[in-house]
Amino acid sequence: MIELRTAAEIEQMRPAGRFVGEVLSALRDKADVGVNLLELDALAHEMIRARGAESCYIDYHPSFGAMPFGKVLCTSVNDAVLHGLPHDYALADGDLLSVDFACSVDGWVADSALSVVVGTPRQEDLDLIDTTTRALTAGIAQARAGNRLGDVSAAIAEIAHAEGLSVNTQFGGHGVGRTMHGDPHVPNDGRVGRGLRLRPGLVIAIEPWFLHTTDEIYTDPDGWTIRSADGSRGAHMEHTIAVTMDDAVVLTERVA
């Protein structure tokens, strides 16, 4: 069921969005050569405790997950792009790291993700992050009342296709509110003028993710981590936004 939020409820969601942005900013700054993925998860866990927030991930067990997730972050490295289960791995020079984080503050959820290169970057990784960031920006620009969901999806895909990237639509954005995942599904490819008409008060996470040379994926033996079928690297960007009559309100802005 698609729920629309009042202006007052969107204001109540702002603290969750700010906190998610703060945590991702801290994780971005912490990520460095030699830092263990479990250290990043521990940092996020400590920030959650200090804030009195609640993780959306620890007990999360959807149909596509082999077991409850058990951690508070998704940390996806190199050819992993989504749902990366934190494990005992020290980041190496040149690793492409994607971090996805969602939590609840005062009963409201926010969800966001970013990708960074650790240490010495490869230009193709920087380009992929830039493309994914521009796709997110393009999608957000279309998320306004009167447009359709297909306008958001098509704007994302246009950026990807212009760079020669293919787009997987199995996983994408989603509604956000009292829970992390709700209706509607927001694919990263679509047709202009098609789909749900956007109305003020709709709160969604928009999250483009792309792989260098494929849109085919598989799930690791850990039952969660999603990797590219051909070993190519991936990038993932996400913001929780609220639809208005004007520009969308980005609830998960990060500290510069």
Q: What percent of the chain has pLDDT over 70?
A: 100
Q: Where are the alpha helices (DSSP H) in the chain?
A: 7-30, 37-51, 123-142, 149-162
**For residue 126, which of 155, 156, 94, 157 has the smallest C-alpha distance?**
94
Please name the amino acid found at residue 92.
A
- pLDDT value at 217 more than 90: yes
Please name the amino acid found at residue 154.
A
What is the predicted pLDDT for the residue at 256?
A: 72
What is the predicted pLDDT for the residue at 64?
A: 84
Residue 255 binned pLDDT confidence (cut-offs 50, 70, 90): confident
Provide the phi-psi class of 223: left if phi over 0, else alpha when psi is between -120 and 50, else beta. Answer: left
Beta strands in 161-202 (DSSP E): 173-175, 182-186
Please name the amino acid found at residue 65.
G
**For residue 38, which of 95, 90, 78, 80 has the smallest C-alpha distance?**
90
What is the predicted pLDDT for the residue at 63?
A: 85
Ligand-binding annotation for 212, yes or no, is no
- 215-236 mean pLDDT: 97
Provide the phi-psi class of 239: left if phi over 0, else alpha when psi is between -120 and 50, else beta. Answer: beta
pTM above 0.85, yes or no: yes
Ligand-binding annotation for 124, yes or no, is no
182 token code pair: 């709700």
Residue 19 binned pLDDT confidence (cut-offs 50, 70, 90): very high
Please provide residue 15's backbone torsions phi and psi, each rounded to the nearest 5 degrees. -60, -40
Tell me how far apart the alpha carbons of residues 233 and 132 are, in angstroms, rounded to a whole number. Answer: 13
- pLDDT value at 116 more than 80: yes
Ligand-binding annotation for 158, yes or no, is no
Ligand-binding annotation for 22, yes or no, is no
**pLDDT tens for residues 142-200?**
999 999 999 999 999 999 999 999 999 999 999 999 999 999 999 999 999 999 999 99
Q: Which residues contact 36 (CB under 8 A, 6 or more apart)?
A: 88, 89, 90, 91
- 208-217 mean pLDDT: 98
- Between the two ends of the chain, the Cα-to-Cα distance in Å is 35
Q: What percent of the chain has pLDDT over 90?
A: 96
Ligand-binding annotation for 100, yes or no, is yes
| Cβ 242 vs Cβ 202: under 8 Å | yes
Neighbouring C-beta atoms of residue 88, cutoff 10 Å: 7
Please report the sign of the dihedral spanned by the C-alpha atoms of residue 70, residue 37, residue 237, residue 10: positive
- pLDDT value at 231 more than 80: yes
- 211-227 mean pLDDT: 97
What is the predicted pLDDT for the residue at 65?
A: 87
Ligand-binding annotation for 174, yes or no, is yes
Domains and CATH numbers, the chain: 7-250 (3.90.230.10)
